[in-house]
């Protein structure tokens, strides 16, 4: 039976470590010599290399937003433009912008760099721009609208001057572009105002001419049309009265038609329910009842030829005649009232229709005047709006002249007190372009 062999992994690991340590102890002089050689070589190279200085200008760049709101449009300043920062990078390194820097007499870069490079004669624009670009680095600050302009030079003052010069040139470019747009806008507004002013005065003359020719009565300067014969409230009241009268007339006509179909006996009974109670008719009916009772009493004891019966019958006939006459009078009164209501309805309807016809004719006759006056009011409103916009533009242009729109800190020219120290100087200037 085979016996299990113990694991040798810990011993082998310990052995390997001891082997490494033994080799290090044996080769310690060689390792120390290599380390010292690297340190000494790095130190020597560091002192031999020429000094290089870096100057950094940090600017905050924002999209151009007009201070003047366009008529009827709202501006959206928060819209993201993925190409804006890259476009500004290219602008800062553009031929036009860098040409202004290399030709700046205060910097005198062509002669300085010619002497530095030993060309013997001043550099051309293209040569100077190529040398400038070779020492220029532009980079964005992550998650911000800041841009850093780095310039490298063996001269610390030159590094600072050129970094600031590029920032200033970019500032002048942005301000010049904004000022150019404002001047173009101001010129356009000025021309529009002059044209509107000419139209305004000509329209004033035309309005006064039409007012005299058409004989328009216009006491209210704010009116936009002729005054109606009846106000809307008066017309509404008249129409309500006409509707009420038509309803009453319809009721009366229906009652009269119903009464006309009744016989005399029913008519005497019903008519007092249609009209207001008539005391005369009530008295006559009561007296008729008494006369008829008297006639019945006489008829029991006397013949129809008897003078008493004849006299009593005559009285009854007289009361019947008076009642019929009274009922006819009441019916005539109802007919007259109906005729009166119909005449009132016709008159009021005619009056409203005539007023409307007159208003329509007056509006058609004076339409040229009111159209001219409304056009004059529109020109007046445009005059006010254009005046306000022109003031805004002038104020903005003055603001640009007085305030460059860049918020900058003070840049120190001193980089280090020890010129022998090879270090990098960083200048931070915040420039906010509007």
**Residue 60 pLDDT class (50, 70, 90 cuts):** confident
Which has the higher per-residue pLDDT, 409 or 15?
15
Of 250-259, 264-273, 421-430, where does mean pLDDT reach its minimum? 421-430
Q: How far is it, in rounded angstroms, from Cα 143 to Cα 125?
A: 36
pLDDT beyond 80 at 389: no
Q: How many CA atoms lie within 13 Å of 59's alpha carbon, on the beta-carbon side?
A: 27
**pLDDT for 363:** 83
DSSP 8-state assignment for residue 211:
H
Q: How many CA atoms lie within 13 Å of 97's alpha carbon, on the beta-carbon side?
A: 22
Q: How far is it, in rounded angstroms, from Cα 170 to Cα 406?
A: 11
DSSP 8-state assignment for residue 411:
P
Average pLDDT over residues 72-86: 63
pLDDT beyond 70 at 3: no
Q: How far is it, in rounded angstroms, from Cα 57 to Cα 425?
A: 11
Q: How far is it, in rounded angstroms, from Cα 26 to Cα 281?
A: 158
**pLDDT for 399:** 65
Contact 113, 123 (CB under 8 A): yes
Average pLDDT over residues 226-241: 80
Of 58-67, 133-142, 184-193, 411-420, where does mean pLDDT reach its minimum? 411-420
pLDDT beyond 70 at 431: no
What is the residue whose two structure tokens read 């690991």?
Answer: 13
Q: Which residues contact 101 (CB under 8 A, 6 or more apart)?
A: 107, 109, 132, 162, 165, 166, 169
Q: Which residues contact 434 (CB under 8 A, 6 or more apart)?
A: 62, 64, 65, 178, 405
Average pLDDT over residues 86-108: 88
Q: Which residues contact 396 (CB under 8 A, 6 or more apart)?
A: 67, 68, 182
Which has the higher per-residue pLDDT, 79 or 374?
374
Q: How far is it, in rounded angstroms, from Cα 399 to Cα 67?
A: 11
Q: How far is it, in rounded angstroms, from Cα 286 to Cα 8?
A: 152
Average pLDDT over residues 75-88: 70
**146 has which bridge partners?**
60
**Residue 61 pLDDT class (50, 70, 90 cuts):** confident
Q: How far is it, in rounded angstroms, from Cα 194 to Cα 191?
A: 5
**Residue 115 pLDDT class (50, 70, 90 cuts):** confident
Q: pTM score, two decimals?
A: 0.49
**Residue 429 pLDDT class (50, 70, 90 cuts):** very low
Express each pLDDT in 134-153 by its tens digit.
Answer: 899 988 888 888 889 999 88
Sheet hosting strand 136-140, strand order edge to edge: 53-60, 146-153, 136-140
Q: How far is it, in rounded angstroms, from Cα 191 to Cα 290?
A: 105
**pLDDT for 426:** 35
pLDDT beyond 70 at 418: no
Burial of 284 (0-12, 13-18, 19+ CB in 10 A): buried
- The rounded mean pLDDT for the chain is 77
Q: Quickly list H helices, 58-155.
A: 84-92, 95-102, 109-117, 125-134
pLDDT beyond 50 at 158: yes
Distances (CA, A) of 386 to 191, 192, 222, 375, 379: 10, 8, 21, 16, 10
Token digits of residue 216:
């328009």
**pLDDT for 1:** 43
Average pLDDT over residues 47-74: 70
Which has the higher per-residue pLDDT, 401 or 98?
98
Nearest to 103 by CA among 77, 74, 79, 132: 132
Domain ranges of the chain: 232-360
Express each pLDDT in 5-40 by its tens digit.
Answer: 445 445 455 557 777 778 888 888 888 888 889 998
pLDDT beyond 50 at 424: no
Of 15-24, 38-47, 49-58, where does mean pLDDT reach its minimum? 15-24
Longest dimension (CA), the chain: 185
Buried b (16+ CB within 10 A) or exposed e, 102-111: beeeeeebbe
pLDDT beyond 80 at 397: no
Express each pLDDT in 339-359 by its tens digit.
Answer: 888 888 888 888 888 888 888
- Reported residue count of the chain is 434
Angle, alpha carbons 427-432-433 (nearest 5°): 130
pLDDT beyond 50 at 4: no
Q: How many CA atoms lie within 13 Å of 354's alpha carbon, on the beta-carbon side?
A: 6
Q: Which residues contact 245 (CB under 8 A, 6 or more apart)?
A: 341, 344, 345, 348
| Per-position DSSP letters for 422-433, written without gaps between them | ----------B-
């Amino acid at each position: 039976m085979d016996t299990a062999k113990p694991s040798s992994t810990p011993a082998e690991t310990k052995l390997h470590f001891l082997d490494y340590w033994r080799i290090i102890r044996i080769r310690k002089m060689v390792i120390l010599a290599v380390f010292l050689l690297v340190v000494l070589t790095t130190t020597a190279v560091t002192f031999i290399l020429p000094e290089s200085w870096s100057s950094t200008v940090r600017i905050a760049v924002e999209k151009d937003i007009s201070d003047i709101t366009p008529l009827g449009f709202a501006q959206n300043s928060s819209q993201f433009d993925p190409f804006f920062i890259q476009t500004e990078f290219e602008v800062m390194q553009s031929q036009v912008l860098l040409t202004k820097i290399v030709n700046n007499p205060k910097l005198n870069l062509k002669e300085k760099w010619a002497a530095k490079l030993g060309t013997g004669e001043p550099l051309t624009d293209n040569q100077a721009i190529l040398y400038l670009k070779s020492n220029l680095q532009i980079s964005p600050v992550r998650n911000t609208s800041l841009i850093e302009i780095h310039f490298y030079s063996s001269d610390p003052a030159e590094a600072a001057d050129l970094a600031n010069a590029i920032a200033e040139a970019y500032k002048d470019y942005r301000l010049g572009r904004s000022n150019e747009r404002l001047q173009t806008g101001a010129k356009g507004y000025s021309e529009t105002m002059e044209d509107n002013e000419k139209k305004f005065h000509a329209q004033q003359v035309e309005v006064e001419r039409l007012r005299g020719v058409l004989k328009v009565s216009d006491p209210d300067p704010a009116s936009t049309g002729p005054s109606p014969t009846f106000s809307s409230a008066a017309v509404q009241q008249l129409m309500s009265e006409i509707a009420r009268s038509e309803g009453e007339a319809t009721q009366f006509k229906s009652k009269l038609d119903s009464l006309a179909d009744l016989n005399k006996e029913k008519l005497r009974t019903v008519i007092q329910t249609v009209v207001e109670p008539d005391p005369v008719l009530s008295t006559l009916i009561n007296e008729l009842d008494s006369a008829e009772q008297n006639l019945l009493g006489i008829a029991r004891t006397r013949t129809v030829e008897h003078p008493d019966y004849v006299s009593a019958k005559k009285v009854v006939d007289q009361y019947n005649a008076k009642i019929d006459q009274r009922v006819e009078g009441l019916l005539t009164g109802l007919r007259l009232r109906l005729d009166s209501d119909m005449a009132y309805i016709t008159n009021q309807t005619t009056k409203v229709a005539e007023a409307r016809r007159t208003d329509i004719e007056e509006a058609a006759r004076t339409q040229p005047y009111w159209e001219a006056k409304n056009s004059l009011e529109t020109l007046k409103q445009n005059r006010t709006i254009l005046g306000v916009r022109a003031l805004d533009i002038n104020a903005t242009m003055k603001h640009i002249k007085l305030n460059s729109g860049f918020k900058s800190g003070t840049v120190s020219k001193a980089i280090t007190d020890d010129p022998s120290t090879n270090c990098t100087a960083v200048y931070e200037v915040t420039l906010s372009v509007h």
